[in-house]
Amino acid sequence: MMTGSEPAANGRRAANELPNNRLPDLKTVAAAADTAVIQVRDAAVIRGGQTIWRSVTLDVHPGEFVAILGPNGAGKSTLLKAILGLIPLGTGEINVLGHAARRGNPAIGYVPQRRHFDVDVRVRGRDIVRLGLDGGEWGFPLPFLNRPAEQDRASRIQEVIDMVGATAYADRPIGELSGGEQQRLLIAQALVTRPRILALDEPLDSLDLRNQQGVAAVIRQISRETGAAVLLVAHDVNPILSALDRVVYVAHGQIAVGTPEEVITTATLSRLYNTPVEVLRASDGHIVVVGQEEEEVSYHAHRAR
Amino acid sequence: MRIVLADNVQISWDLVADLQMMLHYPFMRNALLAGTLVAIVAGLLGFFMVLRRQSFAGHSLANVGFAGATGAVLIGIAPVVGMFIAGALAAIGMHLLNLGARQRRQSDIAIGAIFTAALALGFIFLHLAINEYAGSVYNVLFGNVLGIDAAQVGMLVWASLAILAILATIGRPLLFASLDPDVAAARGVPVRALALLFLLLLAMAVAVAVQIVGVLLIFSLLVTPAAIAQELTVRPGVALGLACGLAVAFVWLGLAIGFFTPYPTSFFITSFAFGTYVLVRVMQWARLKLVRRARQQADGPQPAVGGAA
């Protein structure tokens, strides 16, 4: 993302780091100021002898809000999991914050596809959030030995609970909360490590309309306040449309990347689906895609080739 | 193992004297130590077992222990060792079947198949060894804490300390993996390895706990205290402590009453556990009713939302 601050950064760099008066190459400066947090280069995932998608190249920048869209079974979640290092690549490479994608990276907050805690799970929401902070630590916790650290943890947990608006019910058992409330707490759990990337897999799925808007607003606000890059797999683009910077559309083993206006068009989607598809825009800005194989795909559960 | 019944003891109103009399007998001191250790281990493991919905797996491991114990007698090794070996094998078997199972129902069926096969195996072992073992079968099935000798207590102490040390080390990742396996795996927690390790710990705990309450009544120490604790609190740390405390209390009460009456201890341990569980469930039900009624009364003067429409 080129921004207005570019020339200033350029000047400072020239003065501080290059005293020998050699003018820096403009391109290198731009790249340094604009380091992508995620770089996907010509990646492909092959599972069971079948190519899920290939030739995927994508840069995600700090603070960007990117939606991964596409029909069921097209490999949206697979793309997210590949970035998380949970799925090996067939070809190509994925760099996250300058290193190859790896499992367990604390710089990525992850909310997997819709999970519902059963009604009889009697553990506080606050403790679920806390697991995001210390759930991976071995050894017996002795909070009374290090009070300042414990207070710091408690305040970080409270901070993310406030951020997602879950303060009122954070101390109730998670199983008794509604789907939207649980989802907010799971987002808080993903945020508690102060990640630079937030990866959300269908966070709005199976929520009612009001909760969809609420959770979408929370995610939007987080990306603004924390500067974290948000990668969000979605079934329906409309609840998040106003917040989106870019769209990654996955269908039939191919992807298209660009702004929503560029990608969600009759021409691009028809090319991706390899069949005539029509994109309609309602007067309120909502997008309807007509003629896509959504229903067929979900009923016959066939995979896009 | 001998069946020891402490006859001819009279309870008085002087509780201190009663306690002194109880502790006067070495078999009671052994029983108290063994019972307390087993209660602590069972309470802690039970918490995770309830959280992971593996109470059926725990119960099955105990039944598999029956085959292990009878088999051990047949080849001439200590029943506890046989129980642990059989339990560990069953734990590995369950783990492998769980990895293949897509749904919980499927894995429940797999566990059920294993434990029925193990019971049948235990029965044939018993049949082959019937002469020497007939009396002790009773102890394996229903427990006989008063018959525990010093050597068994020594073994129990080491086994319990090992379980507690391992549990203290893996506690938080195990909690994470139990509540939220997907996120835990993404955060680098070895979810599958923990699942197997937990089943092995459970097999070990069951092998030692069987001596107190027996194969058939083991639920009363493993599951019931943990289930009660999770009804009463939503804080994992508090629930762990409460599960331990309740299990210890049930064992102590059971031992005390068993000492002054001619009836078996494990009956009283199980009865206290069950009674408390029922009491707590009834209390929770009543509390929920009251809360609902209070809410209705609070909402009363205002028209219900959408009610008139």
Give the helix/strand (H/E) hosting A281: strand A278-281
B71 or A31: which leads in pLDDT: B71
Confidence grade of residue B165 (pLDDT, cut at 50, 70, 90) = very high
CA-based nearest residue in chain B for residue A190 = B183
DSSP A173: B
A192 or A11: which leads in pLDDT: A192
The predicted structure's pLDDT at residue B300: 52
User: Between β-strands A254-258 and A246-251, what pairing exists: parallel, antiparallel or unpaired?
Assistant: antiparallel
Tell me if B172 and A141 make a contact (CB, 8 A cut-off): yes
Q: How many domains in chain A? A: 1
CA-based nearest residue in chain B for residue A115 = B180
The predicted structure's pLDDT at residue A293: 54
Considering only CB atoms, which chain A residues are within 8 Å of B169? Answer: 138-140
Tell me if A135 and B171 make a contact (CB, 8 A cut-off): no
For residue A82, is pLDDT > 90? yes
Query: Which is the CATH superfamily of the domain at B16-217?
Result: ABC transporter involved in vitamin B12 uptake, BtuC (1.10.3470.10)
A31 or A192: which leads in pLDDT: A192
**For chains A and B, what is the number of CB pairs under 8 angstroms?**
85
For residue B168, is pLDDT > 70? yes
Read off the amino acid at residue A215.
V
Residues from B contacting A (CB-CB < 8 Å) are 51, 168-173, 175-176, 179-180, 182-189, 230-231, 233-236, 239
Task: Select from B179, B182, B188 the Cβ nearest to the Cβ of A136.
Answer: B188
Query: If you search the block for the tokens 């009610």, which residue do you land on?
Result: B307
Chain segment A25-64, per-residue pLDDT in tens: 544 444 444 688 999 999 999 988 888 898 899 999 988 9
Chain segment B72-130, per-residue pLDDT in tens: 888 888 888 888 899 999 999 888 887 776 656 667 787 888 888 888 998 888 888 76
Cα(A153)–Cα(A160) distance, integer angstroms: 11
For A101-116, give one letter per residue: b (16+ CB within 10 A) or e. Answer: beebbeebbbbbbbee
Task: Select from B170, B182, B236 the Cβ nearest to the Cβ of A127.
Answer: B236
Which of A215, A264, A246, A288 minimizes the C-alpha distance to A58? A246
Query: If you search the block for the tokens 């569980």, which residue do you land on?
Result: B277
Beta bridge partners of A280: A288
Task: Select from B168, B176, B233 the Cβ nearest to the Cβ of A135.
Answer: B176
For residue B306, is pLDDT > 50? no
Q: Residue B263 has which token pair?
A: 């009836």
The predicted structure's pLDDT at residue B63: 85
A57-79: average pLDDT? 90
The predicted structure's pLDDT at residue B309: 33
Which of A256, A195, A191 minimizes the C-alpha distance to A58? A256
A289: three-class secondary structure by DSSP: strand
User: Which sign, positive or negative, has the C-alpha torsion A61, A64, A69, A75?
Assistant: positive
Tell me if A135 and B172 make a contact (CB, 8 A cut-off): yes
Q: Is A80 on the interface with B (CB under 8 A)?
A: no
Q: Residue A188 has which token pair?
A: 């808080």
Task: Select from B171, B176, B230 the Cβ nearest to the Cβ of A122.
Answer: B230
CATH code for position A275: 3.40.50.300
The predicted structure's pLDDT at residue A16: 41
CA-based nearest residue in chain B for residue A123 = B234
Confidence grade of residue B298 (pLDDT, cut at 50, 70, 90) = low
Query: If you search the block for the tokens 């943890």, which residue do you land on?
Result: A153
ipTM: 0.81
The predicted structure's pLDDT at residue B174: 96
Contacts of B179 (CB under 8 A, 6+ apart): A117, A121, A123, A128, A131, B51
Distance from CA of B165 to the nearest CA of A (A): 9
Tell me if A138 and B176 make a contact (CB, 8 A cut-off): no
Q: Residue A240 has which token pair?
A: 């998040």
Tell me if A106 and B176 make a contact (CB, 8 A cut-off): no
Mean pLDDT over all residues of chain B? 84
Q: Taking the CB of residue A286, how many other CB atoms lie within 10 A of it?
A: 13
Considering only CB atoms, which chain B residues are within 8 Å of A169? Answer: none
Contacts of B29 (CB under 8 A, 6+ apart): B23
Cα(B46)–Cα(B223) distance, integer angstroms: 5
Answer for the pair A65, A248: CB distance below 8 angstroms, yes or no: no
In a domain? residue A217:
yes
Task: Select from B168, B182, B187 the Cβ nearest to the Cβ of A136.
Answer: B187
Give Cα separations from A213 to A110, A216, A242 (angstroms): 20, 5, 11
Read off the amino acid at residue A194.
R
* Separate counts of helices (H) and strands (E) for chain B: 13, 0
Confidence grade of residue A182 (pLDDT, cut at 50, 70, 90) = very high
Domain that holds residue A248: 35-300
Distance from CA of B29 to the nearest CA of A (A): 30
CA-based nearest residue in chain B for residue A143 = B237
Q: Is A132 on the interface with B (CB under 8 A)?
A: yes
Considering only CB atoms, which chain B residues are within 8 Å of A192? Answer: none
DSSP B102: S
Chain segment A120-162, per-residue pLDDT in tens: 889 999 999 999 999 988 988 777 788 888 899 999 999 999 9
Considering only CB atoms, which chain A residues are within 8 Å of B161? Answer: none
Chain segment A93-125, per-residue pLDDT in tens: 999 998 898 888 888 999 998 778 888 889 999
Considering only CB atoms, which chain B residues are within 8 Å of A136? Answer: 172-173, 176, 184, 187-189
Distance from CA of A109 to the nearest CA of B (A): 9
Cα(A155)–Cα(A135) distance, integer angstroms: 17
User: Which sign, positive or negative, has the C-alpha torsion A95, A101, A106, A108?
Assistant: positive
Length of chain B: 309
A19: three-class secondary structure by DSSP: coil
Confidence grade of residue B44 (pLDDT, cut at 50, 70, 90) = very high
Cα(B67)–Cα(B71) distance, integer angstroms: 6
Backbone angles phi, psi at A25, to 5 degrees: -65, 125
pTM for this model (two decimals): 0.83
Residues 233-292 of A with CB under 8 A from B: none
